[in-house]
Amino acid sequence: DAGVIQSPRHEVTEMGQEVTLRCKPISGHDYLFWYRQTMMRGLELLIYFNNNVPIDDSGMPEDRFSAKMPNASFSTLKIQPSEPRDSAVYFCASSFQGYGYTFGSGTRLTVV
């Protein structure tokens, strides 16, 4: 198994642009999580899905953030419009029944 696959690994964009982060979870995992990590705020849960259905999006900072999971093997996190304070490392993680989260390599987002 290739693990959780995220793309792109690095993204540099200008303020106001749309950013789309992608994630392919481990096959057979039924939970998918999107996290954001910064030095100041640590690991923050943004949203999670169970069997492709969003369960809790209370961590999404504002309406500029949206996430979808159209099928069991793909999820996106979109920021529109992006702002410098969105700069962070975004991790996707998947798990089976909530145990043993496996994280992707992350996307380092820089908004200038």
Partner 1 sequence: GENVEQHPSTLSVQEGDSAVIKCTYSDSASNYFPWYKQELGKRPQLIIDIRSNVGEKKDQRIAVTLNKTAKHFSLHITETQPEDSAVYFCAASSGSNYQLIWGAGTKLIIKP
Binding site for partner 1 (CB under 8 A): 31, 42-43, 45, 48, 50, 55-56, 91, 95, 97-106
Strand partners, 19: 79
- Least Å distance, CB 18 to partner 1, is 25
Q: Which is nearer to partner 1, 12 or 15 (CB)?
A: 12
Closest CA to 112 of 91, 79, 80, 86: 86
CA distance 7 to 24: 9
Q: Which is nearer to partner 1, 79 or 92 (CB)?
A: 92
- Least Å distance, CB 80 to partner 1, is 26
Q: Which is nearer to partner 1, 71 or 97 (CB)?
A: 97
- Least Å distance, CB 48 to partner 1, is 6
- Least Å distance, CB 8 to partner 1, is 15
DSSP letter assigned to residue 8: -
Strands 88-96 and 65-71: unpaired
Q: Which is nearer to partner 1, 31 or 65 (CB)?
A: 31
CA distance 6 to 15: 22
Q: What is the largest CA-CA distance in the chain?
A: 38
